[in-house]
């Protein structure tokens, strides 16, 4: 995977996580595994069409996979993009923690 593809994948993952409904869908799939679209939609105060649009965004980001089970369309979590996002966050967290540690040392030095 090249750098521009990684950046695009991260952009899609983080953009999809920006919405609370999409985060709730991911949370449910994390705990329950494969869930029918209709069952996912029942828990939200929006229309089935709106939930399907949220699922479309999650699928486009590679976070969710849809499969047909008879008459039902089911969704399941795809963990790989989240692992990439987590790795990115951890790399950046290390940088910020180091920066805050240095800042703390400067502030503590000024107090003495």
pLDDT at position 1: 54
Query: Which CATH number is 70's domain given?
Result: 1.10.10.10
- 64 near 25, Cβ under 8 Å? yes
pTM attached to this predicted model: 0.76
CA 96 → CA 34, 76, 82, 89, distances in Å? 37, 34, 21, 10
Q: From residue 10, give the alpha-carbon distance in Å to each of 23, 27, 54, 89, 109.
A: 15, 19, 17, 10, 39
At residue 111, the pLDDT reads 61
Domain that holds residue 16: 3-79
In a domain, 96, yes or no: no
Residue 109 lies in a domain: no
Q: Looking at the domain assignment, is residue 10 inside a domain?
A: yes
| Per-residue pLDDT tens over the stretch 8-59 | 888 999 999 999 999 999 999 999 999 999 999 999 999 999 999 999 999 9
Q: Is 81 exposed, middle or buried (0-12, 13-18, 19+ CB in 10 A)?
A: buried
State mean pLDDT over 89-104. 79
* Count of domains for the chain: 1
Structure tokens at 109: 């030095």
């Amino acid at each position: 995977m090249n750098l521009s593809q990684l950046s695009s994948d991260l952009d899609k993952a983080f953009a999809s996580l920006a919405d609370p409904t999409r985060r709730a869908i991911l949370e449910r799939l994390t705990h329950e595994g494969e869930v029918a679209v209709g069952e996912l939609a029942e828990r939200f105060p929006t229309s089935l069409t709106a939930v399907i649009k949220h699922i479309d965004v999650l699928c486009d980001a590679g976070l969710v996979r849809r499969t047909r089970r008879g008459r039902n369309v089911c969704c399941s979590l795809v963990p790989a993009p989240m692992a990439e996002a987590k790795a990115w966050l951890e790399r950046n967290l290390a940088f910020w923690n180091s920066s805050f540690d240095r800042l703390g040392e400067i502030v503590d030095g000024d107090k003495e």
